[in-house]
Amino acid sequence: MSFCCWCCIISRVISVLAILLVSSVGQAQFTTDGFPYQVFSNSSAWNQLIPSGATVEPLSASMLLLIKNSQTTNGLSFAYYQWTAPLHNVDSTTFTTRINIYQPQGEFYHNSVDPLNTGQILNLPVPSTVNPDPMADGHMIVYDRATYTFYEFSRFIWQNSTWASATRFDRFQYDVSGSYPAFNAGGSRWWMRAVRGAGSTFIGGLIRWDELVVRGELNHVLAMSGPVNRMRKTESPGYTYELCSPVSSRTDGWYVGTNTVMEGQRIRLNPSFNVNSLTGTKARIIARTLQLYGAYVVDNSVDASLYFENKGGNYATSPWASFASDIGQIQAITLDNYQVLTCDTPVTK
């Protein structure tokens, strides 16, 4: 066999190996049911460990005391069967249904998803069998594994089998940054961006069943709500709104005070807290995540709460309830064990 033939064979072998390598890497990024192991890019704010040089907000203790005095508990609560969002993992190549949504308040959706100002989004690959969270906010997440696309909705209400109303809508690929520019920098209808009160994605920071229960891991910043989120620090600072970028692109905080927490600001469990004092395996995972990654404040609520994927059921019948004695240990960690971190990138309007 000539030297050229050997070169040809070797070249083909290398090509096949390269294809197999790329294929294996691509498959390794997703679970067996097609969901990404990591949501958002490596550089996303949601995937960053707390820097070793992170500083604690000088008023951290006062901020946490205000939260404590504004709610019924002295720890974090959980949103798991209501006031959170279900996650529907679908494959649009396996069904022909396409639905349409409209904005019911006379607004247009954000210009990134509604550039023609129609107030409608047509032909969405969403099965007519999926439903949102049962409470008024009606949040819902749909992931299409055929196109690697997330669709998120707020106040989603079915009108018939092909039409639904939704006050806000967002669409993005699984490997984007997961953050948006703040206020006017985010477009002409910046207040319509994303589906959370902070103008952030809902999948960001959500504690998912497939990661905590199936794989026993959490490798990202968590999402949390707060009862006294900041509108601005003083009555007359020369601006109306204040937030912490890049996670927050707008704010629905309405408290005024220097001891209030900005939406987009990060809170962590004190690194000195002894995680091994917790007996629950899942509680230790969550606690360690709160130490290493922390949680971003992204919405308002009666009590400061972490968000879990809504798996259906109620307070007692949700699949999460079977781990109450384990995960519930997080709720016993009092707020004075947490720290509010300094926001390095505040934005005002």
pLDDT, tens digit (0-9, with 9 covering 90-100), for 13-37: 433 333 333 333 445 699 999 999 9
- Residue 12: predicted pLDDT: 44
Tokens coding 48: 């960053």
Tokens coding 336: 């004075």
Q: Per residue in 216-265, pLDDT tens?
A: 999 999 999 999 999 999 998 889 999 999 999 999 999 999 999 999 99
Q: Give the burial class of 40: count Cβ atoms within 10 A of its Cβ; 0-12 exposed, 13-18 middle, 19 or more buried.
A: buried
183-219 in b/e form (b: 16+ CB < 10 A) is beebbeebebbbbbbbbbbbbbbbbbebbbbeeeebe
pTM above 0.85, yes or no: yes
Distance CA 88, CA 312 (A): 11
Q: How confident is the model at residue 153 (pLDDT cuts 50, 70, 90)?
A: very high
Q: Span 113-138, mean pLDDT?
A: 97
